[in-house]
């Protein structure tokens, strides 16, 4: 027979594990993803010969008008990628203490996790626009423009962040369903 005793001597049920652990794990994964996005943004995104540009270089040179080959619109919109990563990071950092505090209802945690997901999806939009502009530039320039590892680290960070959001949303929904199920069973 297995007991469900925690370290403090209190019993641990599945609802408390899902209610507290799930959003914390999902937020932790989103934090790692957002940090990867921020790291990848300052690493080289594109190169042409020995000349390499980070995401930050592309943004600053697009804003000053120095970079016309890579597409000014996609370069300017790239400034949104770190802002959305910081938004994801901030929301994920707020979801962790709110998950551990019992008085905050599960729908609030679900809203916070959905907000982190919105930031992650919005961070994907300028990244995808940049990718399509680079691909068209590669065709026009005969393949001399290359996509570098910083871009791929950013894309991987966005995917990890989105995975954390899915874990957080899934466990938040499971927590709401479990609380409604116990409410229904308690009234019968």
pLDDT grade, residue 186 (50/70/90)?
Answer: low
55 domain-assigned: yes
Check if the beta carbon of residue 153 is closer than 8 Å to that of residue 40: yes
In this predicted structure, which of 55-64, 115-124, 150-159 has the lowest mean pLDDT?
55-64
- Whole-Å CA distances, 38 to 20, 23, 25, 122, 159: 27, 22, 20, 15, 13
Q: Residue 49 belongs to what H/E stretch?
A: none
pLDDT grade, residue 182 (50/70/90)?
Answer: low
Q: Looking at residue 51, which CATH number applies to its domain? A: 1.20.140
22 domain-assigned: no
CA 23 to chain centre: 14
187 domain-assigned: no
Sequence-ordered list of residues with C-beta below 8 angstroms from that of 37, at least 6 positions apart, any chain: 81, 82, 85, 88, 123, 154, 157, 158, 161
Instruction: Give which of 182, 22, 181, 11 is closest to 98, Cα–Cα.
Output: 22
With 50 as the cut, is the pLDDT of residue 187 above it? yes
61 domain-assigned: yes
104 domain-assigned: yes
What's 86-127 look like in SS3?
Answer: HHHHHHHHHHHHHHHCCCCCHHHHHHHHHHHHHHHHHHHHHH
More confident residue, 28 or 107: 28
Please tell me whether residue 34 adopts helix, strand or coil conformation. Answer: helix
Q: Would you state the pLDDT for residue 17?
A: 66
10 domain-assigned: no
With 80 as the cut, is the pLDDT of residue 117 above it? yes
170 domain-assigned: yes
How many domains are contained in the chain?
1
Tens-digit pLDDT profile for residues 143-168: 677 888 888 999 999 999 999 888 88
* Mean pLDDT, residues 89-116 taken together: 76
162 domain-assigned: yes
Q: Would you state the pLDDT for residue 5?
A: 46
Q: How many C-beta atoms lie closer than 10 Å to residue 140's C-beta?
A: 11
The domain containing residue 73 runs over which residues?
A: 27-182
């Amino acid at each position: 027979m297995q007991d469900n005793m925690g370290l403090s001597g209190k019993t641990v049920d599945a609802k408390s594990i899902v209610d507290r652990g799930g959003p914390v794990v999902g937020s932790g994964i989103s934090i790692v993803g957002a940090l990867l996005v921020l790291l990848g943004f300052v690493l080289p995104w594109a190169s042409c010969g020995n000349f390499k540009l980070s995401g930050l270089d592309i943004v600053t040179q697009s804003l000053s008008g120095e970079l016309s080959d890579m597409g000014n619109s996609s370069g300017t919109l790239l400034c949104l990628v770190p802002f959305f990563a910081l938004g994801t990071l901030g929301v994920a950092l707020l979801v962790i203490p709110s998950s551990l505090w019992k008085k905050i209802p599960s729908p609030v945690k679900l809203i916070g996790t959905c907000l982190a997901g919105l930031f992650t999806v919005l961070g994907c939009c300028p990244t995808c626009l940049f990718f399509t502009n680079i691909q068209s530039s590669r065709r026009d320039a005969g393949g001399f423009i290359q996509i570098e590892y910083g871009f791929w680290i950013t894309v991987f960070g966005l995917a990890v962040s989105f995975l954390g959001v899915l874990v957080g949303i899934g466990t938040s929904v499971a927590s709401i369903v479990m609380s409604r199920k116990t409410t229904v069973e308690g009234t019968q």
